[in-house]
A = this chain, B = another copy of it.
């Protein structure tokens, strides 16, 4: 076996929150047989990725080695772990393994893209093992904010690895298996070469709270409400949906689910037997016949998404339902950084309707799905790995987690996307740096983050766009006048004349005096016209727009 090695290579999720994708390999350098753990997405924003639909990790490296890829394992069904599985399936070709609930959702994704659902294979929890080349992989249950999350126990010729996926230590998660420290100790008893471990909450100093702990506060709030009650949370948090629905039921309210994602999650949970005895729900149509103080709506849009049910309800009638003075709206969620403005917009729109909004600012109505600092220490202590590789987190989280591990006597390293680590020795060692990055799903096309497409969109948004057209005849002489159109620019500037006319006048003046050589050469003509437009605009309106020059030659 000499000369073979065990490698770990994050392609996404290490150095950021979201977009998880981790490669493991075993074999001679350059010939390793590979598996991929998770293939998630991140979400675009107007500031850096306008118009983009989804952000995926750039898995070019893996695509080029698809013949060496044995399998894809998905730890759980959050979009930042499962969201890219279908989009990349044709390029990778490997089968996808997951537990039943996760597999159910993965199959829906395959079906949406017209891909074969049998590419997704359902695996039972530990001790069932999947053979994947040199690896044997098991799904070890762990609590998180979605049903059937699993860590992966990856047995390799160099020993056992445990990849936690996202997790918390919850012994009363309400839906799905409680965290079982004894099982984890037993799995770890024979020695663990490396624990590759969730880092997102390493800066949270207090032990995490159980999903069960929010129940009483929610029940009291709903019991005391007088008008209609609406609650939003992450659609995938099926346990929370159950808590909310049961609180509604106990208060004599009929439950309505609004939003496609929420109905899909509850459906998948019911189909796979994860969710039992969920209160019966009624349709929005049937809700019309029920007094509003006997209704409770569970709705999507906890992050203020403009098209989700919460935003629609904040704006007006949605599915025949409308909020009124005295109704209650509960955010049973936290706001993910970057989404604050959208959430605040909804809260104020609800305030204008006279709706009372309750959020988690006092910490009563939401708990995190991730392990806090003391929980991480507890996990380190149960597994007692030789190496601790911080996984899933921004640089600051990975760095802090590595420090924590080192303080606990473990070998550790800050490993970010693109760092291929050799885990064969006593400590993690850098084997190679791989080029990684992001690709964008834009409409139906995948584009590279560095293709310039999004850069041009941002520039148009910041600077506006001027289009100059001119026609030159067979003798390279100007036919008529140059013509300008603008988009995203004010109509008039400092001279009080129309911006377009000022631009056209300056362009005409230049063209009237331009030497024939300039007029013959598209590139230099274009450059000169662009320069004039930008200068004139700077003088008129104080900004330099993007310029497209279209030269038509009659020849």
Pick from B47, B362, B399, B447: contact of A341, CB under 8 Å: B47
Determine if A454 and B488 form an interchain contact, defined as CB atoms under 8 angstroms apart: yes
Residue of B whose beta carbon sits closest to that of A16: B348
Residue of B whose beta carbon sits closest to that of A15: B348
Bound together, the chains give a CA A347 to CA B393 distance in angstroms of: 13
Determine if A467 and B548 form an interchain contact, defined as CB atoms under 8 angstroms apart: yes
State whether the Cβ of A189 lies closer than 8 Å to any Cβ in chain B.
no
Residue of B whose beta carbon sits closest to that of A552: B471
State whether the Cβ of A225 lies closer than 8 Å to any Cβ in chain B.
no
State whether the Cβ of A91 lies closer than 8 Å to any Cβ in chain B.
no
Determine if A444 and B487 form an interchain contact, defined as CB atoms under 8 angstroms apart: no
**What is the distance, in angstroms, from A266's C-beta to the closest C-beta of chain B?**
29
Pick from B338, B485, B546: contact of A550, CB under 8 Å: B485
Pick from B340, B395, B445, B487: contact of A548, CB under 8 Å: B487
Residue of B whose beta carbon sits closest to that of A362: B205
Bound together, the chains give a CA A496 to CA B454 distance in angstroms of: 20
**What is the distance, in angstroms, from A404's C-beta to the closest C-beta of chain B?**
14
**What is the distance, in angstroms, from A170's C-beta to the closest C-beta of chain B?**
23
Copies of this chain = 2
Bound together, the chains give a CA A47 to CA B51 distance in angstroms of: 11
Residue of B whose beta carbon sits closest to that of A555: B480
Residue of B whose beta carbon sits closest to that of A492: B445
State whether the Cβ of A442 lies closer than 8 Å to any Cβ in chain B.
yes
Determine if A461 and B348 form an interchain contact, defined as CB atoms under 8 angstroms apart: no
State whether the Cβ of A290 lies closer than 8 Å to any Cβ in chain B.
no
Determine if A51 and B543 form an interchain contact, defined as CB atoms under 8 angstroms apart: yes
Q: What is the size, in residues, of chain A's interface with B at 8 Å between Cβ atoms?
A: 65
Bound together, the chains give a CA A497 to CA B395 distance in angstroms of: 40
Pick from B443, B480, B490, B546: contact of A542, CB under 8 Å: B443
Mask, A512-540, CB within 8 Å of B = 1, is: 00000000000000000000000000100
Q: Enumerate chain B residues within 8 angstroms of A479, measured Cβ to Cβ.
A: 554
Determine if A451 and B490 form an interchain contact, defined as CB atoms under 8 angstroms apart: yes
State whether the Cβ of A351 lies closer than 8 Å to any Cβ in chain B.
yes
Besides A15-B348, A46-B46, A453-B489, 17 new A-B residue pairs in contact (Cβ under 8 A), listed by A number: A51-B461, A344-B394, A347-B394, A352-B395, A443-B543, A444-B493, A444-B494, A445-B490, A445-B541, A456-B488, A458-B461, A460-B461, A460-B487, A465-B465, A465-B487, A469-B552, A480-B554
Binding site for B on A (CB under 8 A): 15, 45-47, 50-51, 203, 205, 337-338, 340-341, 344, 347-348, 351-352, 357, 361-362, 394-396, 399, 442-445, 447, 451, 453-454, 456-458, 460-465, 467, 469, 471, 479-480, 483, 485, 487-494, 538, 541-543, 546, 548, 550, 552, 554
30 A–B pairs (Cβ distance < 8 Å), ordered by A: A15-B348, A45-B341, A47-B47, A47-B341, A50-B458, A337-B340, A347-B394, A347-B396, A348-B394, A348-B395, A351-B394, A351-B399, A442-B490, A444-B541, A444-B543, A453-B490, A456-B487, A457-B461, A457-B462, A457-B464, A460-B460, A460-B461, A460-B465, A467-B485, A469-B550, A469-B552, A480-B552, A483-B550, A483-B552, A485-B548
Smallest CB-CB A-B distances: 9 pairs: A443-B542, A444-B542, A443-B543, A461-B461, A457-B488, A50-B461, A337-B340, A351-B396, A46-B47
